[in-house]
Structure 1
Amino acid sequence: MEVDAAARALVGDVASPSPWSLLCVLAALLVLWASSHGAERCWLRPRRLGRALRAQGLGGTAYRFPTGDLTENSRLNKEARSSPMPPCHDIVPRVAPHLYNTVKEHGNVCITWFGPIMRVIIAEPELVRDILSNKSGHFEKFTNKRLAKLMALGLANYDGEKWAKHRRMPNPAFHLEKLKGMLPAFSACCSDLIGSWENKLANSGGSVEIDIWQEFQNLSGDVISRTAFGSSFMEGRRIFQLQAEQAERKIKAFQYIYIPGYLFFPTGNNRRMREINQEIEGLLRGIIEKRDALSRASGTSSLRMSIEDVIEECKLFYFAGMETTSVLLTWTLVVLGMHPEWQDQARKEVLSVFGKDKPSFDGLNRLKTASVTMILYEALRLYPPVVTLTRKTSKEMQIGGILYPAGTVVELPVILLHHNPNIWGKDVLEFKPQRFAEGIFKATNDRLAFFPFGSGPRICIGQNFALLEGKIALSMVLQHFEFRLSPSYAHAPYTVITLHPQHGAQIIIKSLE
């Protein structure tokens, strides 16, 4: 009996391992799985993809474990941003040095590496047109959803039925008649801007320096707040400040995004990004709930999507709306400061159409193919707000004779196509608004070589909003002031999601009267 009891005890000890032993086994299995997954993601798959595409004749950079081209890209960006450039429009080597060097060395279709993720740069207009038109239905938006959520998820980052649903809902808000109804809000905001500049001039010796980058960010923020929520800029100011900081922090996070689970690491940058996101969402939730309560009280409307979805769309509208227009206006005034002959021509046109009256909708339509519109287009060509777009294949596809596996990320470099001398001619780096005298398609010989707002079904829904605001603001500035670049201005375009002036955009303004 005693022997049987001892045997049972011994068997029991063998059959019932301690919790600590189980934990060690589980930890070992987890490490084994993570190592296997990491090896496949960061070593085996990149090498397999690279060999498959090189076998089809595609060139590009070699994969470097585990960061790909991120380290070199970071080094080149730091070097480019270390000093300003001459006041000219040859900005691609400074704005996107790695992209520029890669295409220069390997051609318009080539491989580069975003960490272990292969990206295929495609800078051929015909291929870009096919990808953006998405007639096959197999090109999706490529984005890191966790990182996008911290900035602005919304319509721009959805696919499939959710994208279609969210695209339909705001469409009516950007129809011609709705935009026409926004004109008084646009004009009021621009009048406030003009008034503040006149006040500064009144206390100066006839001219004053202004940083238009800050001024136009305030203007576009004011316009969005008034048109979207009926509030003043002061109510939205905190949101804009937070989103500007978030954009800078997002760029920092990009350098390490190839590390699995990096956004969950308790780094200072990650913690601050989550704090910013929570504060933005809290502010927007308050504005939306207040607006919805007023609508319910009057019986006019109610939310047609979840409040979380509305918050994401508002984050996107706030950021994209403010950034796009402020970038457009800033670079337009910079180039007009460099080219006073076009400033004079545009001013004559504006004064002949409006005199000193506020711009009207009908009058703005008369500027469609005139100097103001051509100037805005040429500024968008030379200084596109978004310098590159990305898409991802949802299935194995052939593009330009090369067979790509499902999940291939393609990069469409807007800025390279906008600066391509084979498309625009030898004067590609000159500011020549007359290129657009007969419209966009004649300027590009019907090729998709000008797409500052994207193209195809995913074209920016707010492009008419941005252009209308740009025309009104530019017209009113020209009505009241002449301007030139300040001696303190340093020409230094660089990207923080959109194309910013690194050291601001200082101009000297002088009243026309």
Structure 2
Amino acid sequence: MAAAAAAAMVLSLAVLLFIFIFLHLLESFLWKPERLRAKLRKQGIGGPTPSFLIGNVSEIKKIGALTSAAKSTEANSVTHGWASNPFPHLEVWRNRYGLNFAFSSGTVQTLCVTEIETVKEISMSTSLSLGKPDYLWKDLGPLFGLGILSASGPTWVLQRKIIAPQLYHDKVEGMTSLMVECMNSMLRLWEAKVENDGGQSEMNVDGYFRTMSSDIISKACFGSDYSKGKEIFEKIRALQVIMAKESIGIPGYRYFPTKKNREVWKLEKEIESLILKVVNERIESRSNEQDLLQKILEGAKNLKEDDKSLNITRDKFIVDNCKNIYFAGQETTAITASWCLMLLAAHPDWQARVRSEVLQCCRDRPVDADTVKNMKTLAMVIHETLRLCPPGTLVTRQTLEDIKLKNIIVPKGINIQIPIAIMHQDTRLWGPDAHLFNPNRFSNGILNACKNPYAYMPFGIGPHVCAGQHFALVEVKVILSLVLSRFEFSLSPSYKHSPVYTFVMEPENGVVLNVRKL
């Protein structure tokens, strides 16, 4: 009798547990997402109807496939009206549902914002209630972890306090000679190649720039040269390419032992091991370096192991921030410099104008921090390049509490997305020539380049704006000024203009130029 009663109790508990789990899954995957969408619909924000669990992922892939098929039938040319290429579904839904609309990626509910006054409100908000989306450290955790690129709240505040001061103007100016040194080493390789090829050489320049920018970030921030960090950069690059195709928000997908996930997990472990090796070598050397790595190590000492308020351990704090710096330091500068050379090659009149300015500024002195400050035409070209070909493609935020933006009450748990490329080429903001390369629009500075300066956001917006933007701009100026002072270049017939998304917007087939020494 007692055994039967015990068995009945166990069965009852099992049924209750099953019901609890079932209701929890319904809440997480159905009821909560629907409540969030309903709150936006009541405020007049429309969007496509999602499917259970996968949201609008199928429709996103369908629109992408149709766009790819259409592009493959077009003749290749350097055109800039490609803002919808990486995310064609955003352009389709924007035209269908309005400037602000909602959609779902798996169970992640997203409010896409392209109405400029709402964008302005997001830019001006300093509230910690607007953080980074949690899918960055969940679905994309192997690449971003909980580093400065993906963290929110107290974690992000601590990281910003440590990292940002190391990239302020005075610090960057002190790094300029290092940038020149690394760049000169690369240009000597170019000179040798051009000479060996008989005076003109075809080069895929973005590969050179990626190696060179990696060398700069290694020396400036980690106290070592590219050769020591080469394996880290290569593995982060491999992880970046794999994870760029990840579908976020699909429940449990990242835990399935698929071939791709197994490769991701393997790379993640290898990258962590390599970074900790660099860290341990620094600790054992008892170095007095005051570079960014040292500041991260000192900041990590202030963490308690498994500190619940920060949700991050000491080793994870170090590894994730190093991963973020390796990734951002390599990609942003290399891609921007590559796009700049491509545009100058396609517009020889502007190439000649910038070269004339560079030679004039450097006539009696070497390239340094003060020299590049005076290169106004070069700055205009860089800003126009960042407008047409921004390395970053999306500004993303997540509401950690209910928040009011203009006339929209955005409920807690919504992801906010601003498509940078679409904002940068909106003819209502930039005029009818928004798709054309016209550096003159920046002749009176960024604030006067278009109808609303908040439409220009190549380094993000608000408190989470890229901490390394000044570093990147100075580095690109140094790169371009040195290249232009020694070489002239044109687009190779083999160049195929095809921007592709890999968390940054990069040239799918590289930037192939014909390079000739002056």
Instruction: Answer yes or no: same fold by TM over 0.5.
Output: yes
Consecutive unaligned residues of structure 2, counting only runs of 5 or more, are: 301-313
**Contact 2:210-2:334 at 8 Å conserved across structures:** yes
Q: Deviations over 1:394-441 (max 9, x none)?
A: 222332323332212111111111011111101101101011111100
Partner of 1:355, secondary structure, is coil
Partner of residue 285 from structure 1, selected from 256, 276, 280: 276
| Cα distance between partner residues in 2 of 1:221 and 1:28 | 57
1:348 correspondence with 2:356? yes
1:294 correspondence with 2:285? yes
| Cα distance between partner residues in 1 of 2:218 and 2:143 | 18
**Contact 1:108-1:124 at 8 Å conserved across structures:** yes
**Contact 2:394-2:418 at 8 Å conserved across structures:** yes
Determine the structure 2 residue equivalent to 1:509. Answer: 515
**Contact 1:355-1:479 at 8 Å conserved across structures:** no
Determine the structure 2 residue equivalent to 1:315. Answer: 323
**Contact 1:125-1:447 at 8 Å conserved across structures:** no
| Cα distance between partner residues in 2 of 1:52 and 1:161 | 29
Determine the structure 1 residue equivalent to 2:310. Answer: none
Deviation at 1:446, TM superposition (A): 4.8
Determine the structure 1 residue equivalent to 2:164. Answer: 171
Determine the structure 2 residue equivalent to 1:473. Answer: 479
Determine the structure 1 residue equivalent to 2:107. Answer: 116
Q: Which stretch shifts more, 40-49 or 332-341?
A: 40-49
Deviation at 1:452, TM superposition (A): 0.5
Partner of 1:157, secondary structure, is coil
Q: Deviations over 1:22-48 (max 9, x none)?
A: 5x7776555544433333333333333
| Cα distance between partner residues in 2 of 1:434 and 1:48 | 48
1:208 correspondence with 2:208? no
The alpha-carbon distance between structure 1 residues 285 and 216, as it changes in their structure 2 partners (threshold 3 A), is: same
Q: Radius of gyration: which is bigger?
A: 1
| Cα distance between partner residues in 1 of 2:42 and 2:453 | 30
Consecutive unaligned residues of structure 1, counting only runs of 5 or more, are: 1-10
Partner of 1:286, secondary structure, is helix
**Contact 1:147-1:250 at 8 Å conserved across structures:** no
Deviation at 1:68, TM superposition (A): 1.8
| Cα distance between partner residues in 1 of 2:343 and 2:175 | 28
Determine the structure 2 residue equivalent to 1:198. Answer: 191
Determine the structure 2 residue equivalent to 1:86. Answer: 77
Determine the structure 1 residue equivalent to 2:142. Answer: 150
Partner of 1:127, secondary structure, is helix
- Percent identity between matched residues is 31
Deviation at 1:293, TM superposition (A): 2.6
- 1:21-40 → structure 2 map (5 Å cutoff): 22=10, 31-40=18-27
**Contact 1:68-1:116 at 8 Å conserved across structures:** yes
1:330 correspondence with 2:323? no
Deviation at 1:17, TM superposition (A): 3.1
Partner of 1:377, secondary structure, is helix
Runs of 4+ in 1 over 4 A off after TM superposition: 24-31, 296-302
Deviation at 1:357, TM superposition (A): 5.8
Determine the structure 2 residue equivalent to 1:227. Answer: 220
Determine the structure 1 residue equivalent to 2:7. Answer: 17
Q: Which stretch shifts more, 440-449 or 207-216?
A: 440-449
| Cα distance between partner residues in 1 of 2:449 and 2:415 | 30
| Cα distance between partner residues in 2 of 1:30 and 1:261 | 20
Q: What TM-score comes out, normalization by structure 1 length?
A: 0.91
Partner of 2:63, secondary structure, is helix
**Contact 2:193-2:201 at 8 Å conserved across structures:** yes
Aligned CA RMSD, in angstroms, stands at 2.3
Determine the structure 2 residue equivalent to 1:242. Answer: 235
Q: What TM-score comes out, normalization by structure 2 length?
A: 0.90
| Cα distance between partner residues in 1 of 2:435 and 2:261 | 40
**Contact 1:46-1:63 at 8 Å conserved across structures:** no
**Contact 1:358-1:476 at 8 Å conserved across structures:** no
Q: Which stretch shifts more, 28-37 or 490-499?
A: 28-37
1:268 correspondence with 2:259? yes
**Contact 2:101-2:112 at 8 Å conserved across structures:** yes
Q: Which stretch shifts more, 50-59 or 381-390?
A: 50-59
1:376 correspondence with 2:363? no
Count of aligned residue pairs for this structure pair:
495
